[in-house]
Amino acid sequence: MNTTPVKIVETVLRDGHQSLAATRMRITDMVPVLEELDDMGYYALEAWGGATFDACLRFLDEDPWERLRTLKKHLPKTPIQMLLRGQNILGYSHYADDVVKEFVKRSVDNGVSIIRIFDALNDTRNMECSMRAAKEAGAHVQGAFVYTISPYHKDEDFLKVAQELVQMGADSICIKDMAGLLSPYNAEKLVRTLKSQLTVPIDIHTHFTSGMGDMTYLKAIEAGVDMIDTALSPFAQSTGQPSTEAIVATLQGQPRDTGIELTRLHKAADYFRGVKTQLVKDFGLNDNIPIDPKVLTFQIPGGMLSNLLNQMKEMGSADKYPELLEEMPRVRAELGYPPLVTPTSQIVGSMAALNVTLGRYKMIPNEVKDLVRGKYGRTPAPIDPEVKKLAIGDEPQIDHRPADDIAPQMESLKAKLAAAGYPNADIDDVLSYALFPDVALAYFKKHR
């Protein structure tokens, strides 16, 4: 019998508010409760990466690097975990290797201990550079594969990706189920498959979008999963993770009891309830995001549905929204069944919206052409030949690692910043500028 306590990765400081509050939680909202969280007995606190970097600069008038240093100062015991999009770092396109290496090094220097690295297409070539850099910087490298459903995604396919990541040096593996598609019995089967072939710990990350999250975790725990991602209840469920308190209560007195005190979790949750109320007031957020089991049919993450509806309204074709829902899976199949996660979800979504508004493939955005060219990496399935012809004609698809075509960027970034009036910018500012040039310059204008 497995009596190893289940380890909890608390996501309230990153994915919790990214999923339920448009990533608007400020460092001032976090500081009063950090010591309490540090003392809770969590395996890790996911507190950086994902959309937090962009949101700090763009919406919160915060320096993301300063946020990380503040977090580290108040969290001396519990590892800080971040989410990194492989060669995309935290942006939406590939960066040169020198930028990736420097970003990873600075993240660790400033306080990150665990880096979860994934690629939208599960193309491990796009994870090589960041994984190597994280190992060299002394971080725990968690290799993640994106879970999705298609004729080209079976347990043995996911196992193959996981095995590649372990060979590349991953210290643990994460099943990243960004849309809540992983059903309980499939989770049990997938975890058993991975545990039978791998010796590194397995983490599971899901969203409550379809309403199955708790059951999925329970079956994964029964199958021997080592870590699970949960969020304190005010920032849990709907499109976020399952609730920390509910899972901890479920396991109390059972063989895999987490050992975390429920009363302390309730106290921290009460604090975050106040934070959420304030964020809703300050930023006019939607405080009632329902679960949507339709995600299992359309496989479109909840947050993306609302974005697509807005996009349709802007194009004056909101009445075609039902057609869009049918077009999305069709476009996804034609574009090689990419998992729908940043940036592929936006690419497939925009193409589907244009198709139902203007006619199929009458207008093809550059991002779609780049996906077809292979600039984002290998798609799980071949691209439909007719769509390929419409998008890039007879142009060849690349079959090498896309970043091999990108020349080093650090020196030119420093030169551009100098030309913009910041000749003595420190390395963290150069990296902020690399990821979000216009947004970073607006921030520097105000603060430097």
57 and 169 assigned to the same domain:
yes
Residue-number span of the structural domain to which 113 is assigned: 7-283
Asked whether 39 and 258 are in contact (CB, 8 A), the reply is: no
148 and 74 assigned to the same domain:
yes
362 and 224 assigned to the same domain:
no
Q: Report the SS3 class of residue 323.
A: helix
197 and 220 assigned to the same domain:
yes
106 and 174 assigned to the same domain:
yes
332 and 378 assigned to the same domain:
yes
155 and 252 assigned to the same domain:
yes
Residue 303, pLDDT score:
61
Residue 341, pLDDT score:
86
Helices H / strands E in the chain, number of each: 20, 8
Q: Residue 294: inside a domain, yes or no?
A: no
Structural domain total, the chain: 3
Q: Residue 153: inside a domain, yes or no?
A: yes
- Mean per-residue pLDDT pooled into runs of 10, the chain (448 residues): 96 96 96 98 98 96 98 98 97 95 98 98 98 98 96 96 98 96 98 98 96 98 98 95 98 98 98 97 87 80 70 84 89 95 89 94 97 97 97 96 97 97 97 98 96
What phi and psi, each to the nearest 5 degrees, are found at residue 138? Answer: 90, 15
Asked whether 185 and 155 are in contact (CB, 8 A), the reply is: no
CA distances in angstroms from 78 to 37, 40, 41, 43, listed in the order given = 8, 9, 8, 7
CATH number at residue 358: 1.10.472.90
User: Burial level of 90, CB count in 10 A (0-12/13-18/19+)?
Assistant: buried
Which residues have C-beta within 8 Å of that of residue 294, sequence separation ≥ 6? 325
Asked whether 338 and 380 are in contact (CB, 8 A), the reply is: yes
Residue 176, pLDDT score:
97
Which residues have C-beta within 8 Å of that of residue 185, sequence separation ≥ 6? 219
Q: Residue 265: inside a domain, yes or no?
A: yes
How far does the chain reach from its first CA to its final CA, in angstroms? 58
319 and 440 assigned to the same domain:
no
Q: Residue 170: inside a domain, yes or no?
A: yes
320 and 216 assigned to the same domain:
no
Residue 369, pLDDT score:
97
Asked whether 364 and 390 are in contact (CB, 8 A), the reply is: yes
The single-letter code of the amino acid at 179 is A
Q: Of 51, 91, 88, 93, which is closest to residue 367 (Cα–Cα)?
A: 93
Q: Residue 48: inside a domain, yes or no?
A: yes
Which residues have C-beta within 8 Å of that of residue 403, sequence separation ≥ 6? 87, 94, 95, 96, 97, 100, 126, 129
| Model pLDDT for residues 17-36, shown as the tens digit of each residue | 999 999 999 999 999 999 99
CATH number at residue 71: 3.20.20.70
Q: Residue 312: inside a domain, yes or no?
A: yes
The single-letter code of the amino acid at 277 is T
389 and 316 assigned to the same domain:
yes
What is the pTM for the complete model shown?
0.96
Integer-rounded Cα Rg, in Å, for the chain is 21
Q: Report the SS3 class of residue 114.
A: strand
Point out the domain boundary residue: 248, 283, 318: 283
Q: Residue 291: inside a domain, yes or no?
A: no
239 and 307 assigned to the same domain:
no
334 and 217 assigned to the same domain:
no
CA distances in angstroms from 13 to 20, 234, 236, 333, 363, listed in the order given = 12, 12, 11, 35, 40
Q: Residue 292: inside a domain, yes or no?
A: no
